[in-house]
Chains A and B, each alone.
Chain A
Amino acid sequence: MTLEIYKEHILDLYKNPHNKGNLKNPTYEFSKNNPICGDEIKIQILAKNNKIADIKFCGQGCVISQASASLLTDKIKNLSINKIKKLNKEHILEMLKIPISYTRIKCALLPLEAVRGALENVRN
């Protein structure tokens, strides 16, 4: 049932998030919110040689969006920007390892959308 969402590893990330905070000199920065849920997230990226050298997020939201942000920032650190651009919904669901219902999928994808937005800013 839905309690499967609130598994140990997910709640741990909610209480002790990874990569939460601010970067001093980010190369790219992007904020994304989901007004329906009230979730908001800011992603800061330090890029070096077309790779993510460091990444931080801040903001507030539900367990799913917060856990997704921790897992995603862990995953893309040291990854090339080209590879990050190829990440999609399935990658996020695989990372979270919990059932996500139709109404909560937006929460899970919010961090990825913020990262995409940050990288979009690069080109512009």
Chain B
Amino acid sequence: MTSDNIMIQVRDLKKYYNGDRIKALDGISIDVNRGDVMVVIGPSGSGKSTFLRSLNLLEIPTSGQIIVDGVDITGEKIDLDKFRQKMGMVFQHFNLFPHKTILENLTIAPIIVKKENEETAVKRAMELLDRVGLADRAKAYPVQLSGGQKQRVAIVRALCMDPEIMLFDEPTSALDPEMVGEVLDVMKELARDGMTMVTVTHEMGFAREVGNRVVFMDGGSIVEQGTPEKIFESPESPRLQDFLRKVL
């Protein structure tokens, strides 16, 4: 694989709390390639969310490098806001803006960050909203939507910024079981369209079906990684075997 294909290089990423007593990330090194659908699994407290949040520096790492398109974003004097525009993020608790309508949620960042004119922003927002089947809720407020609808809107909100990569932080964990499917469907469609994605999830079905790489984390380190077949059919490390026995 050529280096042009590498989108994010993570090198020896460490995140310590309380001095160095709590090691949330203990030396992570991994590459995310263009078009990857990487799924990160692991027990809670394994550092998988911290890893994901570090990728766009919502979590400031203690040490290590994150190189995006050849630029180390952990360095000083980096226009972080510019880099964040390339990375869409979807949160466990949606984090829609409650004081804005759905449409405003989608258009605010394109308008004030990218200085798009309102017409363009609204047009694209409506197209994307239509694709997730929520065009009729454009004028509603987030509080009037179900959890599954909120999360679909949150995905569209990130997409409106035209990101090169999408980060999903346990996007279905706060949803009622019957709403998980509708959100996963949107994510599957995104993956099919070739979007580069890094997803932290407990949905093993999604990992197996959609992911092209699965990463198993435990204790702040990557314990094992590989194709879904390898991870789920022939896990090597005892910790992964143990984890899979519990969740499958």
| A and B associate | no
Q: Which residues of B contact A (CB under 8 A)?
A: none
Q: Which residues of A contact B (CB under 8 A)?
A: none
